[in-house]
Amino acid sequence: MSARWTIWRAISAGLALCLLGLAAECFVDARKFRKQFEDWETAKPMDAVVDLSTPGEIVVPFHQTCSSSHSEVVALRVPASALQGGSITQLLQGASARIEVRRKQGTNVVESAELDLSWTGDLIDGAIPVFFVSPFRRGEYEATVSVTAGAPGLKGVSQRLEGRYLLCGMEAMPAEIAKFGGIGSSGLASLVGMVLLYRLARVPIRTSISQTASPNGGPAAPVGNSGAGEGPPSVS
Q: What is the pTM of this model?
A: 0.68
Q: Is residue 185 part of a domain?
A: no
Coil/strand/helix, residue 96:
strand
Q: Is residue 31 part of a domain?
A: no
Residue 154 belongs to domain spanning: 44-169
Top-confidence residue, 175 or 216? 175
Cβ burial, residue 57 (10 Å; 0-12/13-18/19+): exposed
Of the pLDDT bands very low, low, confident and very high (cuts 50, 70, 90), residue 203 is low
Please check whether residue 87 is in contact with residue 125, taking contact to mean a CB–CB distance below 8 angstroms: no
Domain count of the chain?
1
Which tens digits make up the pLDDT trace of 97-111? Answer: 999 999 988 788 999
Q: Is residue 7 part of a domain?
A: no
Which tens digits make up the pLDDT trace of 10-65? Answer: 888 888 899 889 989 999 999 999 999 999 999 999 999 999 999 999 999 999 99
Please check whether residue 131 is in contact with residue 73, taking contact to mean a CB–CB distance below 8 angstroms: yes
- Dist. CA 74–CA 146, nearest whole Å: 14
Helix segments in 43-126, DSSP class H: 80-84, 88-91
Q: Is residue 129 part of a domain?
A: yes
- Dist. CA 80–CA 156, nearest whole Å: 14
Q: Is residue 126 part of a domain?
A: yes
Q: Which residues contact 63 (CB under 8 A, 6 or more apart)?
A: 45, 46, 140, 141
**CATH code for the domain in which residue 114 is found:** 2.60.120.790
208 has pLDDT over 60: no
115 has pLDDT over 60: yes
Q: Is residue 116 part of a domain?
A: yes
Of the pLDDT bands very low, low, confident and very high (cuts 50, 70, 90), residue 161 is very high
Please check whether residue 77 is in contact with residue 162, taking contact to mean a CB–CB distance below 8 angstroms: yes
- Dist. CA 96–CA 133, nearest whole Å: 17
Q: Is residue 73 part of a domain?
A: yes
- Dist. CA 64–CA 67, nearest whole Å: 8
Q: Is residue 93 part of a domain?
A: yes
Which tens digits make up the pLDDT trace of 120-154? Answer: 777 888 899 999 999 999 999 999 999 999 999 89
Q: Output the DSSP codes for 161-217.
A: EEEEEE--SGGGHHHHHHHHHHHHHHHHHHHHHHHHHHHHHHHHHHHHHHHHH-TTS
Q: What is the pLDDT of residue 235?
A: 45
